[in-house]
């Protein structure tokens, strides 16, 4: 990571169908269906809506042999209808389904939490992927680490990295480089630290695998968009990330415009901002910057704190350098002006630009200057950014999965019902999960949880 100027991390090319990712290509956006994969018509219709929204990559769950085999029908139909969208199979629990899916799709995602490296299954899958030109994603989830990893490392970023590196070393040993890796969590701090630690680990072993970014179970509405933007934006500002998914508990096609906005927001990051004290920066652990406590009210501003405003098109680097270079131990308020008129656009941009400064323990206050928005809209955005960065909790937090073909109930309606009854309960965390794959693990630090177990 270059603290002084923006540059994308080197990542070699991986081909996913007709889409190429890697540092020499634009960041690709993607989404995932929530239709039953055994239902060809519904799945194809949803893939089309996602593709029409602008996503070149679409993932479907294949939780069993029936769903794995039906991927053939889905791929045939989507190609007949003129779509070259890359189709990805998401595999959990049944490794044999990965080999079924690999016959038909462009990429297979496996979860190290329920796959093994000791019995030859991974080597066999790699051989099959190589033969068909299929890419592979090693997708680690904070909520579903293997028991042996959990027992040794706990549910920590270090445990997530250990899990991924085991599988990446097998891929390298087999001389298979068409591999993407991800480290997802609903906790933005865990997610950001895990990705940064992964990059350090890969660099130490000379690995340049492309990285898929995402915050799991981000929820819906403005809150879900802000939470995703804080996590994904933090890493994009580091130059990390080759494909992204914004996970929302909404129609999958709603995820795509948010992801595209993030990609466009980071398309041009110019300027050199020299950091004089890099030793003050702690990218893989949360360490609050040392300053002094200063009382302040809205009608009695003092000069005992600093307002640092970004004016360049690389605001994160500009603000970070200014704070790290400060010689006085003053509280810092970070400020950025946004002239956009759409509240969602302002929220996503501000979360991406400013959220990481709180994740990294550098900032003490936030000032979003948005003349087109009301004071209430600005306050809500600021508080949501602080909560997404896990430094101030002002409203109920919902850890809600986006759902997929494994979900057997209407999770969007359920989330709305739960919110209507609990949104007044500040400082409470409530998990709403579609199934048991990541649900129990991602809800581990929630106060209450709701997990689907059967149709209903």
- Three-state SS across 29-98? EEEECCCCCCCHHHHHHHHHHHHHHCCCEEEEECCCHHHHHHHHHHHHHHHHCCCCCEEEEEECCCHHHH
User: With contact defined as beta carbons under 8 Å apart, do 319 and 289 qualify?
Assistant: no
Top-tier CATH class for 14-265? alpha beta
Q: Are strands 397-400 and 429-433 parallel, antiparallel or unpaired?
A: parallel
Ordered per-residue pLDDT tens for the chain, 456 residues:
667 677 899 999 999 999 999 999 999 999 999 999 999 999 999 999 999 999 999 999 998 999 999 999 999 999 999 999 999 999 977 888 999 999 999 999 999 887 776 778 899 999 999 999 999 999 998 878 888 888 899 889 999 999 999 999 999 999 999 999 999 998 999 999 999 999 999 999 999 999 999 998 777 889 999 999 999 999 999 999 999 999 998 999 999 999 999 999 998 777 677 776 777 777 777 777 665 555 555 555 555 678 999 999 999 999 999 999 987 778 899 999 999 999 999 999 999 999 999 999 999 999 999 999 999 999 999 999 999 999 988 777 777 665 555 555 666 777 777 777 787 777 777 777 665 555 565 566 677 777 765 555
Let me know if the fold of 14-265 is the same as that of 397-451.
no
Residues shown for the chain: 456
The residues facing 108 across adjacent strands are 89, 136
User: With contact defined as beta carbons under 8 Å apart, do 56 and 19 qualify?
Assistant: yes
* pLDDT value, residue 19: 98
The residues facing 308 across adjacent strands are 334
Query: What tokens does 360 get?
Result: 């990294």
403: helix, strand or coil:
coil
297: helix, strand or coil:
strand
Query: What tokens does 445 get?
Result: 């630090």
Nearest to 208 by CA among 198, 219, 222: 198
CA torsion angle 392 398 403 408 (round to 10): 170
Locate the domains of the chain by residue range. Answer: 14-265, 278-388, 397-451
* pLDDT value, residue 249: 85
* pLDDT value, residue 114: 75
- The CATH code of the domain at 397-451 is 3.30.413.10
Prediction pTM value: 0.90
Angle (CA) 87 227 312, round 5°: 100
């Amino acid at each position: 990571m270059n603290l002084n100027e923006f540059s994308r991390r080197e990542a070699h090319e991986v081909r996913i169908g007709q889409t190429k990712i890697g540092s020499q290509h634009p960041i690709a956006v993607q989404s995932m269906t929530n239709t039953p994969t055994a239902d060809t018509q519904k799945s194809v219709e949803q893939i089309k809506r996602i593709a029409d929204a602008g996503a070149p990559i679409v993932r479907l769950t294949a939780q069993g042999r029936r769903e794995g085999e039906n991927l053939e029908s889905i791929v045939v139909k989507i190609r007949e209808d003129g779509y070259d969208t890359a189709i990805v199979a998401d595999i959990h629990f049944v490794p044999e389904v990965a080999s079924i899916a690999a016959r038909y799709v462009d990429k297979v995602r496996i979860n190290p939490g329920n796959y093994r490296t000791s019995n030859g299954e991974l080597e066999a899958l790699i051989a099959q992927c190589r033969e068909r030109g299929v890419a592979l994603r090693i997708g680690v989830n904070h909520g579903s680490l293997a028991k042996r990893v959990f027992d040794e490392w706990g549910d920590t970023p270090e445990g997530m990295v250990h899990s991924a590196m085991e599988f990446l070393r097998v891929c390298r040993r087999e001389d298979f480089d068409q591999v993407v890796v991800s480290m997802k969590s609903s906790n933005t701090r865990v997610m950001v630290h895990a990705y940064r630690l992964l990059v350090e680990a890969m660099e130490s072993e000379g690995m340049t695998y492309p990285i898929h970014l995402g915050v799991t179970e981000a929820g819906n509405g403005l809150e879900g968009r802000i939470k995703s933007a804080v996590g994904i934006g933090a890493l994009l500002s580091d130059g990390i990330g080759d494909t992204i998914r914004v996970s929302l508990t909404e129609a999958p096609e709603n995820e795509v415009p948010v992801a595209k906005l993030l990609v466009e927001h980071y398309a041009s990051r110019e300027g050199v901002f020299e950091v004089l004290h890099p030793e003050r920066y702690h990218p893989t652990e949360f360490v609050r910057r040392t300053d002094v406590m200063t009382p302040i009210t809205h009608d009695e501003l003092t000069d005992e704190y600093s307002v640092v405003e970004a004016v360049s098109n690389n605001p994160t680097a500009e603000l970070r350098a200014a704070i790290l270079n400060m010689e006085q131990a003053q509280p810092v308020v970070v400020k950025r002006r946004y002239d956009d008129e759409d509240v969602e656009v302002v929220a996503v941009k501000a979360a991406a630009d400013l959220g990481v400064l709180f994740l990294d323990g550098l900032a003490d206050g936030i000032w979003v200057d948005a003349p087109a928005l009301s004071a209430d809209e600005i306050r809500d955005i600021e508080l949501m950014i602080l909560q997404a960065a896990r430094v101030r909790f002002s409203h109920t937090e919902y850890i809600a999965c986006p759902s997929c073909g494994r979900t057997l109930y209407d999770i969007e309606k359920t989330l709305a019902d739960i919110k209507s009854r609990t949104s007044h309960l500040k400082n409470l965390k409530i998990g709403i999960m579609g199934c048991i794959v990541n649900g129990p693990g991602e809800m581990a630090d929630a106060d209450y949880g709701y997990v689907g177990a059967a149709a209903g």
